[in-house]
Every structure is written in structure tokens, then in C-alpha cells.
Structure 1
Amino acid sequence: MKRIFITGISTEVGKTITSSIVVEALKADYWKPIQAGDLNHTDSHKIGELISNTESVIHPTTYELKSPMSPHAAAEIDGIEIDINKILEPHTANNLIIEGAGGLLVPLNNKDTILDLIKPTYHVIVVSRHYLGSINHTLLTLEKLQDKGHDVSVIFSGDPHPTTESIITKKTEINVLGRISEEKRFNKRVILKYATEFKPKLIDIIKKDQLNTGT
């Protein structure tokens, strides 16, 4: 089964909303390896509140850190050091959606970053949201992933910004899965609407992987 890693070009760009849509579209499992801050209402809690299907399993987070900071700093405050070797992918026969924390180079400790959690077999979805500097952040993120040989797609989040999006797609020839627009509220109904919209392209990602691996 396919593993899809969802990362963003920065923090607060829509990774969790995107994750909920992909989980719902594929009735996939969900895993957030590292959560920093707001442990009473984590991203795992939010996924549970937003999806409608009863097949998805939300797997336990490996590291839950109390401070809403970079994981390496939050871990230091909690008196621990994140050990990447203890971040073990949960066993499941279902498709698995993995949500990162912040952007690719967010540090986990003095050596490892979020990028080091992404295995070569994972498909990576990058969530890009327009703001001043977002073109640079998006291109750097995509370039880093493509240089590592990852199969990558992008989802745009927020209001359309044609000049930003066109230069990103021209420079990278990236596979654009679609857009998550600004909504007054994200709830089960809205997530299901987007899940239905995104499902065909997400199924194509899984089929492509099956063809490449011969499974």
C-alpha cells in the first residue's frame, strides 16, 4: 500500500486540512510522527473531527511536545532529544498518510530534519500557499525533494494567485493535484467535497506506484 507524505513550504499553510482531504479521499490511515504544541487539540484530533469514513485509523504520534516551536527546541524544553530511529512507521495494510511538521528542513535535533523522515518510496505532496516569499520557498522545497529523487506533487492552498502558480509550474513542471480554496469553515461536509474532487488524481498516484513496482 502507498505511503504519502504531506509537507508544506512553511508552517500554517494547510497541511492538516490537506491531510484530512487525502485521508478521506483514500479512506487511508493517518500518522503524525511529531506534534509540537496544543496537545489537547492535536492535528490527529483535528483529522478525527474532519473525516467521515469509518475505515481510517489514526495512529499514535511518536513524539508529543508541549511547546508550539520547532521540534528540536520544543524537545529541549521537555528535557528530551528526538531520536529518529524511534520514529517507526506504524504497521498497516491500508494506505498511510503521513503529515510532517512545518517545512522540510525543520530540525528534529542537531543532525536530522523533517526531510530525513521521508523514505525514498514515499510520494510527497507539497502544500503551497501564496505569501510574500512563497515562490522562493516553494521552488526550494520542490527542488530539494526532486534532487533526492522523490515523486512529488503540489496542492495550492488559499485564494488563486495566477502569476505565482504559473511560474512555479513552468519552472518545475510539477504535477498539480488541485487547489483548496479559502472556506468560511472546514467541516466534514467541506472535507468530503474536496475528497471527492481530489480522489481521481490521488488514485492515479497509487496506480502509478503499482505499475512501477509491479504490484
Structure 2
Amino acid sequence: MNPRSDPLRLVVCGTDTDVGKTVVSAWLVQGLEAMYWKPVQSGLEGGGDRQRVIDLLQLPEHRWIPETYAFHAAVSPHWAAELENRVLEPRRLQLPPSGTTPLVVETAGGLHVPLTRTWRQIDQLQRWNLPVVLVCRSGLGTLNHTLLSLEALASRGIPVLGLILNGPLHADNPRTLEDLGGVPVLAELPPLDPLSAATLSAAWQKQKLGLKFRALMHRPDH
């Protein structure tokens, strides 16, 4: 990717469900002044993740893209579609144009979550071939989940920009993940009280994430 002419387009994935993908996606949308797209949404209570990002950031309409598929049940997308007698067609999950604006894509669940009975999330990532920001828990259990996820991404040749650890700061896990996973920890996002656009912005500045992303996109392999 040529960082001087092409806008940054990335995918936010998680090591598991409820690891904080939506908050991190909002964080990246805000900090990178990006557009937001969650192509597949399961669970529409409260408007789903898209509405959470819109409400959190007061995101204007031109900065978000409607889901390609939105299902009511908060279950795996393949089953949610079947419950509504609908068919999710992977060919419809084409990346939308975003012009010169960066794009943040939030996935549904973890890498091997089935979108259909024959097509998993990681299959879609391989088709998109966008760099991944992997969101992982900061505490107990994250080493196994994160290293397994990195191994799965590497086996498909999917590029990884780095990790964002979500949750209370941990004294050793960031270093261990960098040593064993071979990718950088871009940031550690502690619990924010209150969670708001202002506190996210302050955390972005403190972590110097803007500088980190500019450096990453100037690397020869990107």
C-alpha cells in the first residue's frame, strides 16, 4: 500500500466475542477520522454495534455505512440468518468505496465464526486482504486466545498491523504477546469511566496512536 496516495483501510477483529471490538473500532474511527462499517451484525437490541458507535461518537451519516446483513438474534451469523429464513451471500460483502477517507471495518465475533455453514469470518478476511488490528483481552486467558488467532491469520497470509489490549492494564501480557506473537502491541485501552468521545480522545493522545499508525503505514511491507 502506498501511504501517500491510498487511505488506510483496516479490519478490526477480536480473539473472541465481547473482547471490546466495538469500543476499539469507535476509538480508531475517531482517531483516524475514518468511516465505519460493520458488514454483518447479529443482535439488534439497542440498534446493534453500528448504533453504539454512532451514539458514542455522534458520528454523522456520511461517516458510517449500513450493514450488508443485520439479523435480530444475538447468535452466530449463520444461525441468525437461518432463524430468519435468509441467506447470507459472501459475494455481497464487497468492500465499499470510501474515497480518500480511511475505513474501519468491524467483524462479527472471532476469526472462525461461521457466516454461513460453509464460509467463516477468516475466509472473508482472506478475500478482503486488508490489514488486521486484533483486539484481545488484557488479562487471564488472552495469551492462548491471541496466539491461536495470530497463528490462524498467519496461516492464511493475512497481514496484521498489531494488537490492542482491552481491559485493566497487565504487567506482563503485552511483552509476552509481542515476544511470542511477533507483532506489536499498538495500545492498551484501560476501562474508561465515563466511556465517551472525550475520554477516548484523551486515551488516543496519551497512547500516541496517530503517530504509531503513520509509522506503520510507511513501513516497506505496507
Partner residue of 1:5 out of 3, 6, 11: 11
Superposed CA RMSD: 2.0
The worse-fitting range, judged by mean Cα deviation, of 157-166 and 24-33 is: 157-166
Over 3 Å counting, the alpha-carbon distance change for 1:169 and 1:37 in structure 2 is: same
Over 3 Å counting, the alpha-carbon distance change for 1:51 and 1:203 in structure 2 is: farther
Give how far 1:167 is off. Answer: 2.4
What SS does the corresponding residue of 2:163 show, helix, strand or coil?
strand
Q: Which letter maps to 1:51? A: L
Q: Which letter maps to 2:133? A: I
Partner residue of 2:164 out of 147, 155, 159: 155
- The two structures have a TM-score, normalised by structure 2, of 0.87
Question: Which whole-Å CA distance do the structure 2 matches of 1:58 and 1:182 have between them?
Answer: 25
Per-residue CA deviations over 1:148-186 (Å, capped at 9, x if unaligned) read 222211001111223333322211121110110012221
Residue in structure 2 matched with residue 206 of structure 1 by the alignment:
217
Per-residue CA deviations over 1:119-163 (Å, capped at 9, x if unaligned) read 464110001104543221110101111222222110011112233
- Partners of 1:30 and 1:56 within 8 A in 2: no
Partner residue of 1:109 out of 113, 116, 129: 116
Residue in structure 2 matched with residue 145 of structure 1 by the alignment:
153
Q: How does 1:30-179 map to 2 (within 5 A)?
A: 30-51=36-57, 57-93=63-99, 94-118=101-125, 119=127, 121-152=129-160, 153-179=162-188
Give how far 1:10 is off. Answer: 0.5
Over 3 Å counting, the alpha-carbon distance change for 1:130 and 1:78 in structure 2 is: same
Give how far 1:201 is off. Answer: 1.0
In the alignment, structure 1 residue 183 sits paired with structure 2 residue 192? yes
Question: Which whole-Å CA distance do the structure 1 matches of 2:19 and 2:191 have between them?
Answer: 11
Question: Which whole-Å CA distance do the structure 1 matches of 2:195 and 2:37 have between them?
Answer: 20
- The two structures have a TM-score, normalised by structure 1, of 0.90
Give how far 1:39 is off. Answer: 4.8
Instruction: Number of aligned residue pairs: give it.
Output: 211
Identity of aligned pairs, percent? 29
Over 3 Å counting, the alpha-carbon distance change for 1:135 and 1:201 in structure 2 is: same
Give how far 1:53 is off. Answer: 7.0
- Partners of 1:7 and 1:100 within 8 A in 2: yes
Q: Which letter maps to 1:107? A: P
Structure 1: runs of 5+ lacking an equivalent:
none
